[in-house]
Amino acid sequence: MSKQYYENAYFIIGTSYAGKSTMVKELAGKYDGIACEENYHDNYPEELDSKEFPCLTYTRDLADWHDFIRRSPKEYKDWIDGVKKECEIIELRMLPEICNQGKKVFVDTNISIETLREIAPLDHTLVMLSAPKISIHRFFDRPDPEKQFLYRLILEEPDPEKAMENYRQGLELICSQEAYDELENSGFNVIYRDEDRTVEETVVLAEKALGLG
C-alpha cells in the first residue's frame, strides 16, 4: 500500500488513561485545527465488509453481547490486535481528505508505530503513557456508555466475580509491560501521566513535543 506523507497531521498514541483524547481536543481547539478523536474511524462512510474487516464487524454482527465478555483473555487480546490493524486501514483511507482541508489535524490514532514513522515527520507523533496497572484497574471508572455497558454485562453473568477476573486477565494481556515498553522505546517524544499536572501544563508539554510551541 502506498502511503501519503502527512506534514500537517499530528498523531497521539499511547496507553489508556494517559490523556490522549483530552490533548487532541485541546490542541485542535487552540490551533483552530481538526480533532480526529478516539474511534473517529466510526465515521467511515462505507458499509464495512465482514470479510475484509472481521474484527471491526464482530460487534456489529454479534447476536448476544454476553459472548463478547465471555471470550478467553487470549481471544480478547487477539481481537483487539485485529481491530487496531483494521482501524489503520480505514484511517489511512480517511486521512487524505481530512488533511487536504488545509488545517492542522490532531489524531487519536490506532496507526502502528512502524506506519507512523513512514507517513509523518518523527516529531509529529507523541506517545502518552500511564502505568499498565492504571489502564487495567481503572478501565471501568470511565463514565462513557461503552465501558458502563460492558460493566453491566459482567454484573449480569451467573458469576460476576469470575467474569470480571476473566475480563481483567484480557486487559492485562493488552496493557502489558511489553506493550508499554514498546511505546516508550518507539523513538517518539513521550509524556507520562502525572496526577499533579494540569491540563494546561500538559498542553504546553505536548506543544513542545510536537514542535508547536
Mean pLDDT for 92-109 is 96
Residue 1's pLDDT is 40
Q: Which residue has the cell 470479510?
A: 51
| The three cell numbers locating residue 87 | 482501524
Mean pLDDT for 30-58 is 95
Asked if the model's pLDDT at residue 3 lies above 70, the reply is no
Domains within the chain, CATH numbers bracketed: 9-196 (3.40.50)
CA distance 158 to 69: 13
Quick: pLDDT tens for 128-173. Answer: 999 988 888 878 877 778 889 999 999 999 999 999 999 999 999 9
Handedness of CA 125, 41, 171, 24 (dihedral sign): positive
Residue 145's pLDDT is 86
From first CA to last CA, the distance across the chain in angstroms is 34
CA 1 to each of CA 15, 41, 42, 105, 145: distance values in angstroms, whole numbers, following the listed order: 27, 19, 22, 22, 35
Helix or strand or coil: residue 196?
coil
Phi, psi of 127 (to 5 degrees): -100, 130
The model's pTM: 0.92
Contacts of residue 78, defined as CB under 8 A and 6 or more positions apart, other chains included, come to none
Helix or strand or coil: residue 161?
helix
Neighbours of 160 (CB within 10 A): 13
